Structure 1
Amino acid sequence: MTMKMNTAQSGNGSSRYLPGETRAYAHRWFFTAACIYAALIIPLTLLARHGFGPAVLSVPTGHAFEMLFGLAPALIAGYLLGPMPARRLVWFLCFWLLARIAGLIAPFAWPALVFNALFVILFARQLLPRLWAAKKWRNRSLVPLLGLICAITIAVILAGRLDEYLLHRYLIDESVQLFALLMLFIGGRMLAPAAAGEFYRQGMELGARVQPNIEASLIITIAAAYLLAPVAVPFSGMLLILCGVLAGIRLFRWQLWHCLARPDLICLGLGYGWLALGLILLGWAKLDGGSHFSTAVHAITVGALGTLATNVIVRVTLLHVKQYPSRIPQIVIMTGFMSIAAVTRMAADFSNYRETLLIIAASGWSIAFLFALHVLLTSRTAPQVKPTQNPSTNS
């Protein structure tokens, strides 16, 4: 990974390759790692199902853990950590990488537990105090949400190590709601100001921006659905359906049909739409006794997470180097491949051509992340700005 060195170190040729106390951007490092990992993990999962890949990926919970607690934390770290000393960032990335390698080799062994724990502890220690300084409770709600995700990362591995496989699967299945809430929050905070800016450019005004009442309702509703899941599954399902409807209303009020000249906003809106649909389907699956649970989960993890992740990676990267995402045609192509991946993965649950559809879905997913990786790497040649704040705050 390349990084900008300070003036004092610029005279030493060898120091260019030794990360010290210089400032480095977390989104460059973690987004690059996430793109490479995402492009590889799904094809590896398909190979594992036929006996040619890591055995843990052939098990649904193993695949789900790496998607939710392997890939997603790298995306979160890239988006939220911001600039920091390069030496510290190297530790973050090393622990994340070692956790992924250990988990693929022996998912419940001590190395997997230790490296995952070290990563989430460092992550929480670095980020949570900063988020707690926010004035509004809606912003502070990220602290218990991220803290719970970090704790569940360790709990899932411990449950597997203690042979508590029912608890192991339950924790993974229900954690989908937590990641959905995180996407609702971050996606809304990114879409609202961007849409308002486009309205202003057209001489109009967008009245419904962050929509704090709906955002507060989303936070409370998903939190209640998560807490009630062990004791009142049908009620938890109804709350998730309500949450999906609220997310759909919020998306509708952004009036993105006025932003057709901004494909980057339309693509972000599509990811948010997948999230609303996925929550409705997840709630319905709970009401239906778990039927088609996998289909609902993939609407969230492939449709929403995949679309929002690739678009956020490209958007944050380009804004960081003062380029405009609306001028990058790769965004539409990338989002198209991810939409194909989501539709074919969901359709595979109902088709006689399941294996073919799974291959198409895996290919679409990997191609989309390779497009995002291409934008990341080509942006390295653009002039860089001084690291003064988290690039996500400007998005």
Structure 2
Amino acid sequence: MAVLLPSGQIAEPSEQARGWPFMRLAFRPLFWLGALFAMLSIPLWALTYTGNLTFTPFGSSHFWHIHEMLFGFAVAIITGFLLTAVQNWSGVPSVKGKPLFALVLIWLSARLLMAFPHLAPNWVIMTLDLAYLPLAAFFLAIPIIKAALWRNLFFIPILLAMSGLNALMYTALYGHLAINFLDISHVMVMMITLVMVIMGGRVFPMFTANGTHTQRVANIPWLDKASIISVLLCVALTLIGDRVAQQFTGSLFLIAGVLNFIRALRWRIWVTFGTALVWPLHASYWALCCGLVLMGAYHFGWLTSISTPIHAITVGGMGLMILAMISRVSLGHTGRMIKASKPMSFAFLLMVVTLLVRLLASLTDTHYSSLILLSAALWAISYALFVIGYGKIVFSARIDGRDG
């Protein structure tokens, strides 16, 4: 039986809402729980790191902080986005209902046990954590293959490569590799950068045109390919490590940064300043570009600490881009007007300040602990504004009555 929607359109039976709203599409649980985890985990780590709290998670607080922000938080958002977007790309229903609940339960169980490892044997914790990405890749592959959407098939090996890096993190933790887990985490940072560069090029020009009511900037195919390939080569060189001359690695990072700067400049950040759900996407991409350039400077020996470029990418690029993307996608996929609320507009500004404070901490020894605590507090407030403001949205049915 068809249903009359608030817009006056008719929703066919296949489009009508069914089941628990929170499990109707992957963005709902994975965005909201991922943001909740980000809100809680960063201040927990900062308090532990500065000696204000005793916390003994899996592998050490240092390992836990690095691992969980990459393979817990970022992975949840990436897979939540892909498992939601693939339904639009392919026209084939994506994972939902009980299978989605099982996938989310695996992710959530791994996060809880990583924080409280005394609750289960180490092999159980690692098995649960390592199971998530291959299972997410499996669910992503189903609609892609059914629709013969070969253009997007490359996301499967990306997710599987991330899963391999996760396994290497554990292997390095137990001393079975010649490199340490910190080096492997840098490869994962670059893998996530690669995903951001790919998806940024696909959606940012469209989001800019739609949000600002301006003409869409046409892509330049060679520039897009060069921007992506240069970052892919940065991933490879980060994996190889010191076996390649640092000047060569530094040059490639500088090239990747400049190419992506040119790309970002063409997207016209200046037309977005009045649109709160668009300018943070541009700002995050600029932060990512700065991180690539700073990484080049580090490899040339112009920077003494790799913390500066890493946090430019992870806090400014990843943190701000994720916050803006989950805010926008959650509105669009629940049938709501794509417009930022005042609290979320404030949250985006706070994330910019978070980046500046965190970079200042890595560049100075003065008041280091205080700056770390301040940046963690600002981060937590930013994500708390999403968790609180979007709780009703992700737990409620679409306002247009459709499924999803």
TM-score (norm 1): 0.84
* 1:140-183, Cα deviation, whole Å (9 max, x unpaired): 44333222112211221133234547342221122211111111
Amino acid at match of 2:376: A
* 1:112-137, Cα deviation, whole Å (9 max, x unpaired): 2100122122112111454574344x
1:1-395 to 2 correspondence within 5 Å? 24-49=24-49, 50=51, 51-55=53-57, 59-82=61-84, 83-106=94-117, 109-128=122-141, 130-131=143-144, 133-136=148-151, 139-164=152-177, 166-198=179-211, 201-202=213-214, 205-209=215-219, 211-229=220-238, 230=240, 231-232=243-244, 233-288=246-301, 291-349=304-362, 350-379=364-393, 380-381=395-396, 383-387=399-403
Which structure is higher in RCO with an 8 Å CA cutoff and minimum separation 6?
2
For the structure 1 residues 250 and 239, does the alpha-carbon distance in structure 2 shift closer, same or farther, using more than 3 Å as the test?
A: same
* Alignment partners' CA distance in 2, 1:38 and 1:150: 20
* 3-state SS in 2 of match to 1:84: coil
| Structure 1 stretches lacking a partner, 5+ long | 1-6, 8-14, 389-395
- Deviation (angstroms), 1:327: 4.7
* Alignment partners' CA distance in 2, 1:120 and 1:27: 15
* 1:191-219, Cα deviation, whole Å (9 max, x unpaired): 111223356x35xx33434x432221122
For the structure 1 residues 355 and 222, does the alpha-carbon distance in structure 2 shift closer, same or farther, using more than 3 Å as the test?
A: same
- Deviation (angstroms), 1:71: 0.6
* 3-state SS in 1 of match to 2:54: coil
* 1:354-381, Cα deviation, whole Å (9 max, x unpaired): 1111111001101111111123213245
Amino acid at match of 2:30: F
* 3-state SS in 2 of match to 1:25: coil
Amino acid at match of 2:41: I
- Deviation (angstroms), 1:53: 2.1
* Alignment partners' CA distance in 1, 2:157 and 2:340: 37
RMSD: 2.8
- Deviation (angstroms), 1:240: 1.6
- Deviation (angstroms), 1:80: 1.2
For the structure 1 residues 127 and 354, does the alpha-carbon distance in structure 2 shift closer, same or farther, using more than 3 Å as the test?
A: same
* Alignment partners' CA distance in 2, 1:70 and 1:165: 25
* 3-state SS in 2 of match to 1:88: helix
- Deviation (angstroms), 1:56: 5.1
TM-score (norm 2): 0.83
* Alignment partners' CA distance in 2, 1:23 and 1:356: 40
Amino acid at match of 1:80: L
- Deviation (angstroms), 1:59: 4.4
* 1:43-97, Cα deviation, whole Å (9 max, x unpaired): 1102222242235586433311111111111111221112423111111111111
The aligned length equals 368
* 1:221-273, Cα deviation, whole Å (9 max, x unpaired): 12222223322143222212211111111111112322343222112111111
CA contact (8 A) 1:44 1:54 kept: no
For the structure 1 residues 45 and 193, does the alpha-carbon distance in structure 2 shift closer, same or farther, using more than 3 Å as the test?
A: same
CA contact (8 A) 1:56 1:63 kept: no
- Larger mean Cα displacement after TM superposition, 65-74 or 314-323: 314-323
* 3-state SS in 1 of match to 2:278: helix
CA contact (8 A) 1:95 1:119 kept: yes
- Deviation (angstroms), 1:321: 2.5
* 3-state SS in 2 of match to 1:325: coil
CA contact (8 A) 2:25 2:95 kept: yes
Amino acid at match of 2:310: V
- Larger mean Cα displacement after TM superposition, 242-251 or 361-370: 242-251
Identity score, percent: 24
- Larger mean Cα displacement after TM superposition, 237-246 or 46-55: 46-55
* Alignment partners' CA distance in 1, 2:142 and 2:305: 39
For the structure 1 residues 284 and 217, does the alpha-carbon distance in structure 2 shift closer, same or farther, using more than 3 Å as the test?
A: same
| Structure 2 stretches lacking a partner, 5+ long | 1-12, 85-93
CA contact (8 A) 1:334 1:371 kept: yes
CA contact (8 A) 1:334 1:369 kept: yes
* Alignment partners' CA distance in 1, 2:59 and 2:323: 23
